[in-house]
Structures are given as C-alpha cells and as structure tokens.
Structure 1
C-alpha cells in the first residue's frame, strides 16, 4: 500500500463527501480510490468511513484520523513549498472559481501577466455565477463580489467596482429617461439580477451625498447569470445596474446610456476567498498577492494596460 497516497485519497473523500467527486478531483478511477481507502482501513484496523448507496459518513475514528492526516499532508506541502520559495518557482495546479462578467472583463484580460510571471503554475478556471463548495469541489480560492456571509472562510478584500444604471437608447426613447430613482416605479421595466444562492432578485440601490434609496419593484425579467443579465440591457429589454468596467465599451459605442448618474449605486466590493483550514500554498499566496496588485485598478476601470 502507498500509505501517503491512501491518506490523500481518504482526506479527499472526507472533504468531497463522496468517492466519485474525490476520485474526479485526484484524477483517478473510482475503483482505485475505494481500494486505497479499504487498504488504509485494513492497515489501521479501524473503520474510517461508513458507506451506503446514497452517502458517505465519517466515523469518529475517521474524524480523528482525518485531523491528524491533514496536519501531516499540510506539513509535506509546506516542505515542498519551502523549496519552491527558495528557488523562486511556485508550481502546480491552481483551481480558481469566478463569476462570468468578472472572468470576462477583469480576470482573463489580466491573466497573461500572471502566466508570464509564473509559467510553472497551471490554472484551472471555473466560471459560473453560483456558490461553489471550496472544500468539496477542491477549489483553491474564489473571487466573489458583494457582501460575504460565510464566517468559515477567509476573505481578502481586493477591490471595489464602480456601479451604474444603464439602458439601451431604444428603451429610453420608448419609456423615457427617469430623473429620480423613485420614477422607476412608474411603468419602467427593470431587469433584475437574481442570486443563484438564494433565488432572490437584487434590489436597485442608489446613493447621493449620503442619502440612500432602495427600489424593490416587480421586475420585467430576472436573470441569474451576469453575462446574460448585461445582454438583456443591450437588447433593450429594460434597465439594469451593472459594473462601470463592463458597460464602458457599450457606453462609448452608444449601445447603452447611463441614467441617474447623480444616483450611482454604492461601490461593489470584491474579495478573494479560501477555506480557513486550507494550507496556503506558495502558488496561492503569489496569486493573492498578484490580485492585490492588479485587480483594484482593473475593477475600477482605471487599468491602463
């Protein structure tokens, strides 16, 4: 038995909550994953996992072994990372999850710089407007916008996006240009962004000299994916609130018009988030440092590259 590999396999099953997801994350057959855990249990003489057709449950002995095994695995990662640091060459896979618009307009345009700096880091980018299970999906970090509500995660603030309210010229010609936020309640069509986490439509928010207004009206259409949400504005379906860096090109080309400019929404915070119990590898550390350097200007729309 390869005890180290068996420990890694067992730890991933605990974190992923299933043999199939754990096998996928380690790129090995499901049967191999199961055999490794069985050999580990036989070697230890204890039952680490209770298996049924529907779920995998960690036994008390398994919980104790997981806590001790992960300390060893993290120490090994630390040793490997220390040599990489000494050589100045962070390497390995880095799994990142990010929302659609943020990937398209911010992160991907910046990535050539990161790839040039760290050519031995392989990036796996998951792009979707959804809540990701960082541990279960074996994701190193997530770039998230908006307020954070999960205290079990470590979050680093990496920038604030300027928000604006926009609509297509054809829409404004038909329905008129509102001069005050409250006018949106009078026959205007709002296209709401719907949270994939709770299914709720985000309210339209406005701020002017310390005064804040929140508009909650029945939306014309609700969309839970950011690229499609922005496309709805371009199609003239209704009014949206979106990022200034996303709308910049459409505003310049005249396919969108900013409205209620004196009542821009509050700044939208972005964080890079990772699990509190996940060892911060050298490759994750340099990625976070790079984000802190590059992301703020890009998300504000002041990046000159």
Structure 2
C-alpha cells in the first residue's frame, strides 16, 4: 500500500463527502480510490468511514485521523513548495468558480494574458451565480461580488464595480423617466436580481452625496443569473440595476438608457475567496496575484 496516496485519497473523500466526487477530483477510478481507503483501514485496524448506498459519513476515529494527517499533508506540501517554487514555473490544474456576467465581460477577456504568462497552468471555469461548496466540489477559488459572510473562507479584495440603473427606450417612453428613486414605487416595473443562495430579491440601492435610498417593492420578474437578468432588461420587461461593465455595450448602442445617474449606488466590491484550511499552491498564488493586477482594469 502507498500510505501517503491512501491518506490523500481518504482526505479527499472526507472533504468531498462522496467517493465519486473524490475520485473525479483526483482523476482516478472510483474502484481504485475505494481500494486505497479499504487498505488504509485494514492497515490501521479501524473503520474510518461509514458507507451506505446514499452517503458517506466519517467515524469518530476517522475524524481524529483526518485532523492529525491533515496537518502532516499540509506540512509536506509546504516543504515541496519551498523547494519547487524557485526552481520551476507554476503548473497544474486550477478550478475556478465565477458568476455569469463576470466571466463573460471581465475574467474571460482578460484570461489570454494569464495563459500566456503561465502556459503550464490548466483552468476549468465553473460559471454560475449559485453558491458553490468549495471543499466538496474541490474548487480552488471563487470570484464573487458583494458582502462576505463566511468566516471559514479567506477573501482578498480585487476591485469595485460601478452599478447602473437602466431600461430600454421603449419602456421609458411608455412608463416615463424617473427623476428620483421613490418614483420607481409608482407605476414602474422592476426586474430584480434574486440571490441563488437565499431566494431573496436584491433591493434597488441608490446614493447621492451622503443621502441613501433603498427601494423594496414587489418585482414584476425576478432572475437569479446575471446574464439572464441583463437580458430581461434588454427585452423591455422593466428597470434593472446591474454592473456598468455588463450593460456598457447596450448603453453604448442605445439598447439601454441609464436613468437616475445622479443616484448611482456605491461601487460593488469583488473578492477572490478560498478555504482557509486549503493549502495555497504556487499556481493559485500566482492566479490571485494576477487577478489583483488585471481585474480592476476591466471593471
């Protein structure tokens, strides 16, 4: 038995909560991973995992073993990195999760520069606005906007995006152009962005000098994905509040018209986020550093 490989296999099952997910993340057959864990249990003489047809749970002995060996694996990775980081170019596989419009308008257009700098790094992008289980889905980092409420994650600020409120010319001709935020409460149709995490509609926020306003009214349509949210605005369904970078082409060609310019919301913060108990590899570190440099230029 390759004990180190078996320990790593066991750790991935614990983190992923599934043999199938763990095997996929390690690029090995499910049967091979299962055999490694069984050999490790036989070597230790204890049951580390309880398996049923539906789920995998960690035994008390398994949790203790995971906690102890996790420290060893991290120290070993640190040693390996300290020797390799100065000798070799960063290489390997990065799994990154990012929201729809941010992927389309910000990250992907900038990505050729990163790939040119680091040709030995391979990237898989998960593109959606849903909340992702970073440990279970074996994601290296997530790019997200807005407030952060998970203290188990490490976040690095990478930029701020301007927000705009807009609608189509046809919509404004029919319903009128509001001069103040409160006018949106009377006779206007709003298309809200709905959080995929809690199902709540994000309020329309406005700010002028030190004066702030927040509009919470029943929306005509709610959308939980940023590209589709913009598309709803372009379809003339109602007023949307979205990222300036996402709306820029439509504003430039007149498909959308910005309203309430003097009441633009505060800039929207973006962060790159990763688990605090996850070892930061050389490839992830250079990607984060590149994001800090490249991201603000495209917001």
TM range, smaller chain: over 0.9
Structure 2 distance, partners of 1:123, 1:53, is: 33
Q: Which residue of 2 aligns with 1:55?
A: 55
Cα distance, 1:75 vs structure 2: 2.8
Extract unaligned runs of 5+ from structure 1.
300-305
Partner in structure 1 of residue 93 of structure 2: 93
Structure 1 residue aligned with 2:31: 31
SS, match of residue 86 in structure 2: helix
Residue equivalent to 2:262: 262
Aligned to 2:211: 211
Please identify runs of 4+ aligned residues in structure 1 that moved more than 6 A: none
The within-5 A match list for 1:125-274 is 125-274=125-274
Question: Structure 2 CA distance, aligned partners of 1:166 and 1:82?
Answer: 51
Residues of 1 paired with 2:291 and 2:260: CA distance? 31
Cα deviation code 1:82-108 (max 9, x no counterpart): 333212401111111000000000000
Give the deviation of 1:18 after TM superposition: 1.3
C-alpha distance in structure 2 between counterparts of 1:88 and 1:212, whole Å: 51
With the length of structure 1 as denominator, give the TM-score of the two structures: 0.95
Does the 8 A contact of 1:178 with 1:259 survive in 2? Answer: yes
Q: Any gaps of 5 or more consecutive residues in structure 2?
A: none
Query: How many angstroms does 1:178 deviate by?
Result: 0.6
Partners of 1:230 and 1:242 within 8 A in 2? yes
Deviation, 1:76, is: 3.0
**In 1, distance between residues paired with 2:107 and 2:71?**
33
Report the RMSD for the aligned CA atoms in angstroms.
1.1
Q: Deviations over 1:103-161 (max 9, x none)?
A: 00000011001001111111111101100001000011000101011111111111110
Secondary structure in 1 aligned to 2:192?
Answer: strand
Across the two proteins, how many residue pairs are aligned to each other?
299
Deviates more, 1:37-46 or 1:2-11: 2-11
Q: Distance in 2 between matches of 1:272 and 1:149?
A: 14
Identify the residue that residue 302 of structure 1 maps to in structure 2.
none
Q: Which residues of 2 match residues 103-142 of structure 1 at below 5 A?
A: 103-142=103-142
Q: Are 1:121 and 1:283, in contact at CA under 8 Å, matched by a contact in 2?
A: yes
